[in-house]
Amino acid sequence: MKAHLTRRYMFSASHRLHSDEMSAEENRATYGKCNNPYGHGHNYTVEVTVSGPVDDRTGMVCNLVDLDGFVHKKILERYDHQNLNLLSEFVKAVPTTENLCIAIYEIVKRGFRKAHLEKIRIEETMMNSFEYSGEDL
């Protein structure tokens, strides 16, 4: 029997959407106000969805203490109150929320072994949310 668990976490970070591969005009046309040279910030909500069999003994897919500890140490400590443009994963990639979603997915996929990672969902604003569940296209 497989069940899903989704846990929500929050952090704040800033970014500037800008690609060195495009001209200043192309960047402004593509990213609009998000290309502001001083950047801008968001209060992100990240949802981590894992799945697995329900353990007969505990009745859980995984222990929330394990998931919370991993996300706090590997995700929240890394991204909270940071300028995303300055982080290694965004040296060559534009720090869009789509790319942030992929980066967080990869961190959880590589490091959290107590349940199967289904997807990462990030809510950037009330109007924008993004999901990533791996390479299956």
Report the CATH number at residue 85: 3.30.479.10
> Is 123 a member of any domain?
yes
| Residue 31 lies in domain | 2-132
Q: What percent of the chain has pLDDT over 70?
A: 99
pLDDT at 88: 97
In terms of C-beta density within 10 A (0-12 exposed, 13-18 middle, 19 or more buried), how is residue 101 classed? buried
**What does 96-131 look like in DSSP terms, one character per residue?**
-HHHHHHHHHHHHHHH--SSEEEEEEEE-SSS-EEE
- Give the model's confidence band at 135: pLDDT under 50 very low, under 70 low, under 90 confident, else very high: confident
> Is 81 a member of any domain?
yes
Say how many domains are in the chain: 1
pLDDT greater at residue 135 or residue 129: 129
Mean pLDDT of 53-59: 96
pLDDT in tens, 62-97: 999 999 999 999 999 999 999 999 999 999 999 999
Mean pLDDT of 19-39: 97
Is 106 considered catalytic here? no
Is 101 considered catalytic here? no
> Is 31 a member of any domain?
yes
> Is 137 a member of any domain?
no
Task: List the catalytic residue out of 18, 124, 131, 135.
Answer: 124
Name the residue type at position 70.
Answer: F
Is 81 considered catalytic here? yes
Task: List the catalytic residue out of 4, 40, 72, 81.
Answer: 81
